[in-house]
Amino acid sequence: MSEPSDFDILKQLGVSTEPEKKKTLSARDERVIAGFEEIQRFVDEHRRPPLSGGDKDIFERLYAVRLEQIKGLTECRNLVAELDYQGLLSGEPVNLEVDDSMDDDALLAELGVDIDTKTSGITELKHVRSVSDKKAAEEAGNRDRCEDFEEFKPMFERVQNEISNGIRITKPFELKSEIRSGSYFIVGGQKAYVAEMGEIFSNAQGRTDARLRVIFDNGTESNMLMRSLQRLLHQDDAGRRITDPNAGPLFGTETSDQDLASGTVYVLRSKSNDPQISPHRDVLHKIGVTGGQVERRITNAKNDPTFLLADVEIVARYELYNINRSKLENLIHKVLAPARLNIQIKDRFGKPVTPREWFLVPLPVIDEVVDRIKDGSIAKCVYDPSSASITKV
C-alpha cells in the first residue's frame, strides 16, 4: 500500500488543493485602487488623512474628495477594503463642498486649477461618469434651431474678422466668472455666444448657477446651465474663450498706463534713382511694422534689397497698441495687394530678389486703411488701382 501523497493529506485535512483563480480587475477597478494607494502614500508621508480646507494644497484637497467618493460608493469601498491598513474607510462619508459625483478633471476645475492630468502624475479616478457631466452633455446635444439666427449671424462674422485682425484673441477658458451675457467661446469646434443669462440661483450642492441662452454659429441654440457650459469648456481640449475687443487705442499718440505698446506701422519713400522707381516716387511706398525704432530699421537701407538698395525717408508712422504686429502687417498687405510693386532687383551678390512690401498707392489711401482698421470696417475691403480707392469685395 503506497503512502498518501501530500495532496491526499491536504485533502483529508479539508484544505482545497485547487489552484486559486486569479481575480481579474477591470480598468475601472485598477484606477480606483491606484487612486486609493495615492491617498495611502499621502497618509504615510503626512501621518494624517488629507483635508479639504481652502488653505490646503490643491492635491491634498483632491485626495480628500477622492477618499470621500470611495467611502460613499459601496462597490469602490468593498474593492479597497482589504488594502485599508490605515483605517481610512472608517466613519461615514463627509458632505464636502465639492460635488461628490465629479471626476478628477472636473474636481480640479471646481477647485480653480487648470492642470493637465495626463502629465501631472495624478492617477485618474474615473470610476463613474459624473452625473453633472452627463447632464452637460445632454444639454449640449439638445439644441434647437435658432429662429432668429439672422440677427446673430453678422455678430459671428464680425467676431471672426476681429480675431483675424488681432482685435480679439482666444485664450484657454479658466473661470466660471468668464461666462456672462455677451461673452463668446469656442466649444466643440463651434463659436458660442451667450445671448441671455437668467437670474443667479443656488443649485442642490449650494453653488451658484444660472440658465443661459447660448447661440452657436451653426444656427442652433441651447438653454443650458452656466455650469454645464463651464464643464463642456473644461472637458474640451480645444475649448477657448474669445476676449472682448482690445481696450484703448490701436493707433495714435494718446495712451494710458494699461496700454501695451506693440510697435509701429511705418511708411517709407525711396530715394532711388533707378529709372524703374524714381518716376513713381510720390506714390510708391514701403509699408511695414516693427517693434523697434524705425530709424534703426532703415539704417542699412542702401545695402538691403528689401529697401530697393537705396536710402529711404519716413513719410508716416502710426503707433499701435494691444494688437498682433504680424497679423496687422499681413492684413495691410492683403488689402493693398493689387497695387504691389512687381519688380526684381539683384542684391550685392548678384542674386535676384523680389521685394514684397512696396505698393503703388497714394499716402491718403494708407491713412484710410489705418482708419478702417481702427473702426473695424476694413473687413472684406481691397484697394482698387483703377479708381485709387478702397472698395468692398
Residue type, 149: F
Determine which of 250-259, 310-319, 338-347 has the lowest per-residue pLDDT on average: 250-259
Calpha distance 155→161 (Å, rounded): 10
For cell 459601496, name the residue. 74
In one-letter notation, the amino acid at residue 10 is L
- How far, in Å, CA of 268 to CA of 316, rounded? 7
What confidence score (pLDDT) does residue 325 get?
A: 75
pLDDT band, very low/low/confident/very high, at 55 (cuts 50, 70, 90): low
Alpha carbons 103 and 140: distance in angstroms, whole number: 19
Residue 356 CB coordination number (10 Å): 12
Q: Domains plus CATH for the chain?
A: 27-128 (no CATH), 133-242 (2.30.30.30), 261-392 (no CATH)
- Is the CB of residue 86 less than 8 Å from the CB of residue 108? no
Give the highest mean pLDDT range of 122-126, 250-254, 343-347. Answer: 343-347
- 366 — phi, psi (to 5°)? -65, -40
DSSP state of 365: H
pLDDT band at 141 (very low <50, low <70, confident <90, very high): low
**Mean pLDDT confidence for 50-78:** 80
Q: Quick one: pLDDT band at residue 212, thresholds 50, 70, 90?
A: very high
Rounded Cα gap, residues 282 and 268, in angstroms = 11
pLDDT band for position 10 (cuts 50, 70, 90): low
Amino acid identity for residue 6 in this structure:
D
Enter the DSSP assignment of 328.
Answer: H
Give the pLDDT mean for 207-229.
90
Pure H helices in 336-382:
363-375
Looking at residue 23, its pLDDT comes to 57
Lowest-pLDDT range, 149-158, 197-206, 244-253, 382-391?
244-253
Check residue 92 and give its pLDDT. 67
74-78, 108-112, 221-225, 350-354 — which one is most confidently predicted on average? Answer: 221-225
The answer to whether residue 369 scores a pLDDT higher than 70 is yes
User: Measuring CA to CA, which residue among 26, 58, 31 is closest to residue 42?
Assistant: 58
Under the banding of pLDDT at 50, 70 and 90, the label for residue 261 is: low
Q: Using the predicted structure, report yes or no on whether residue 115 has a pLDDT greater than 50.
A: no
CA distance 245 to 276: 43
CB atoms within 10 A of CB 171: 10
351 confidence band (pLDDT: 50, 70, 90): confident
What stretch of H or E contains 195? strand 190-197
Please check whether residue 232 is in contact with residue 185, taking contact to mean a CB–CB distance below 8 angstroms. no
Q: Taking 50 as the threshold, does the pLDDT of residue 268 lie above it?
A: yes
Q: With cut-offs at 50, 70 and 90, classify the pLDDT of residue 52.
A: confident
Predicted confidence band of residue 313 (pLDDT cuts 50, 70, 90): very high
- Say what the pLDDT of residue 259 is: 47
- Mean pLDDT, the chain, integer: 77
